[in-house]
Homo-oligomer: A and B are copies of this chain.
Amino acid sequence: MKDIPYKIYLDESELPKNWYNLRADMKNKPAPLLNPATLQPMTAAELSGVFCDELVTQELDDTTPYFEIPEEIRDFYKMYRPAPLVRAYCLEKKLGTPAKIYYKFEGNNTSGSHKLNSAIAQAYYAKKQGLRGVTTETGAGQWGTALSMACSYFELDCKVYMVKVSYEQKPFRREVMRVYGASVTPSPSMETEVGRKILQEHPGTSGSLGCAISEAVEMATHSEGYRYVLGSVLNQVLLHQSIIGLETKTALDKYGITPDIIIGCAGGGSNLGGLIAPFMGEKLRGEKDYRIIAVEPASCPSFTRGKFAYDFCDTGMVCPLAKMYTLGSGFIPAPNHAGGLRYHGMSTTLSQLYDDGLMEAVSVPQTAVFEAAEQFARVEGILPAPESSHAIRAAIDEAMKCKETGEEKTIVFGLTGTGYFDMLAYEKFHNGKMDDYVPTDAELQAGFNKLPKV
């Protein structure tokens, strides 16, 4: 076997030419989105009022295994991809583990995360359709930043509704979006009907993601030449994110490495779904077996404590229903939760795979996540995003089990991004102001009781 460098960089020529559509290899397909009014599957025509036409096609297609990546998107990818697969030699040494640890690092771009992989694709299709612009919502700001960068590249108008509390507490994220020419509106705003209504009912509210989604959707569907875009959960997003897994697999194959365990953090599932795609494909086709682990925060445990049921994708209940592991669309994680991954539901594809026993899930408490983040930063030199640090926590835990048993397992995890705009959370951690509150069974049950009857 060849010597394995610290960082495996693929050549530009090895950049994948196709995205991989995991659904094509699933026997049990993910359940379709339902129209909340009729409870019938959403049609292409219904979806195309909200999303670009080609994205609707990608959203609905569960049989075509590969979609060609347009040259224009590949050119953009070349600015920051192929992303490195890093051998965590220093972490292994520090842990004293016989395990071999690799991580796919998606943070080497200004948006600071993997979100850019789908943002550029969605912006491209909007441009191709001749649209003027797109609207979206953002909470912490990673998705909004990624979309701003993508729209700037294709000279599309970009309108971001940013949850008001984040808008005020994270002025730097907002400022990055302004560098890329996006207009950023604190939500709720007076610009939309739903915003005005909420402000009238709750004067002085600091907003929520659910409300920001509703405003973005309203603005898109009421403005000529605009569509709405979303950074996670959807099948189209998982499709675009498959580039993470495809590159990872190419890099591993090049050095003859077969992973035993693949680990990713899971909020809506965009990173996890992308990272595991080609590996899960092999598993589905019976070619190989891998342990695949989703890691979620103990404060928002969709997989580990949620219900597999049809639910609204948004808190405002204006979007279609999706069959997924959910805590109920009204679920809001404890306000002290700093670690991202706050979505109440989960990608329908991943939900189906989990329900079919093809992957595992663990939940980890917040303090343990930041401990792992700091340990990782000190030896590997990268200050990780809180979201990514959930995967680090699980990877370290698995590596420590190997230390006990002496097994030389190969662990691959997704390092989705950097934490440069999350230093408030790190500060909280250093000052001992973080707590590990998890929802009680009664609290979760209250959410389950409100699930729509489908």
Please give the residue numbers on chain A whose beta carbons come within 8 Å of chain B beta carbons, in ascending order. 5-7, 9, 11-12, 76, 78-80, 90, 108-110, 112, 149, 152-153, 171-172, 175-176, 178-181, 374, 377-383, 418, 420-421, 423-424, 426-427, 430
Closest to A418 in B: B110
Please indicate the chain B residues that have their CB under 8 angstroms from the CB of A172 in the complex: 420, 423-424, 427
Q: How many copies does the complex hold?
A: 2
Please indicate the chain B residues that have their CB under 8 angstroms from the CB of A171 in the complex: 423, 427
Please indicate the chain B residues that have their CB under 8 angstroms from the CB of A76 in the complex: 381
With the chains together, A12 CA to B424 CA distance in Å? 35
With the chains together, A327 CA to B380 CA distance in Å? 40
CB-contact partner of A175 in B78, B152, B418, B426, under 8 A: B426
With the chains together, A96 CA to B180 CA distance in Å? 20
24 chain-A/chain-B pairs, Cβ below 8 angstroms: A5-B11, A5-B78, A6-B12, A7-B12, A7-B78, A7-B79, A79-B380, A109-B381, A109-B382, A110-B377, A110-B382, A112-B420, A153-B378, A171-B427, A172-B427, A175-B426, A176-B426, A179-B374, A179-B377, A179-B378, A180-B377, A181-B378, A420-B420, A420-B421
Minimal beta-carbon separation of A117 from chain B (angstroms): 13
Minimal beta-carbon separation of A34 from chain B (angstroms): 38
B176 touches A423 (CB 8 A): yes
Please indicate the chain B residues that have their CB under 8 angstroms from the CB of A377 in the complex: 110, 179-180
The 9 closest A-B pairs by CB, nearest first: A172-B423, A6-B78, A5-B12, A175-B423, A420-B420, A110-B383, A152-B378, A79-B381, A9-B9
With the chains together, A110 CA to B178 CA distance in Å? 23
B175 touches A430 (CB 8 A): yes
Minimal beta-carbon separation of A60 from chain B (angstroms): 31
B175 touches A6 (CB 8 A): no
Please indicate the chain B residues that have their CB under 8 angstroms from the CB of A382 in the complex: 109-110
CB-contact partner of A149 in B7, B11, B110, B381, under 8 A: B381
A179 touches B5 (CB 8 A): no
Please indicate the chain B residues that have their CB under 8 angstroms from the CB of A381 in the complex: 76, 79-80, 109-110, 149, 153
CB-contact partner of A108 in B79, B108, B430, under 8 A: B108
A383 touches B176 (CB 8 A): yes
Closest to A86 in B: B79
Please indicate the chain B residues that have their CB under 8 angstroms from the CB of A383 in the complex: 110, 176, 179
A179 touches B149 (CB 8 A): no
With the chains together, A80 CA to B430 CA distance in Å? 26
Minimal beta-carbon separation of A170 from chain B (angstroms): 10
Please indicate the chain B residues that have their CB under 8 angstroms from the CB of A176 in the complex: 383, 420, 423, 426
Please indicate the chain B residues that have their CB under 8 angstroms from the CB of A427 in the complex: 171-172, 175, 178
Please indicate the chain B residues that have their CB under 8 angstroms from the CB of A12 in the complex: 5-7
Please indicate the chain B residues that have their CB under 8 angstroms from the CB of A374 in the complex: 179
